[in-house]
Amino acid sequence: MSTGVIGQRIKMKPYLEGIPKCVAQLGDDTESGLAAAQGITTTDLASKQCAVRVKLPGSGVEVTVGGMAKGSGMIHPNMATMLGVVTCDAAVELSAWDSLLRAAVVDSYNQITVDGDTSTNDTVIGLANGAAWPEGVDPVGSGDAEDIAALQEAVTAVCQALAKSIAWDGEGATVLMEVVASGAASDADARAIAKSICGSSLVKSAVYGRDPNWGRIAAAAGYAGVEFDQNDLSVWLGDTQLMSRGQPLEFDEKAASKYMAEAGEEHGTVRIGVRVGDGDGAAKAWGCDLSYDYVKINAEYTT
Catalytic-role residue among 3, 41, 81, 87: 81
As a whole number of angstroms, the distance between CA 73 and CA 55 comes to 36
120 is catalytic: no
Q: How far apart are CA 248 and CA 73, in angstroms?
A: 34
- The residues near 13 (Cβ < 8 Å, ≥ 6 apart) are none
- Residue numbers annotated as active site: 81
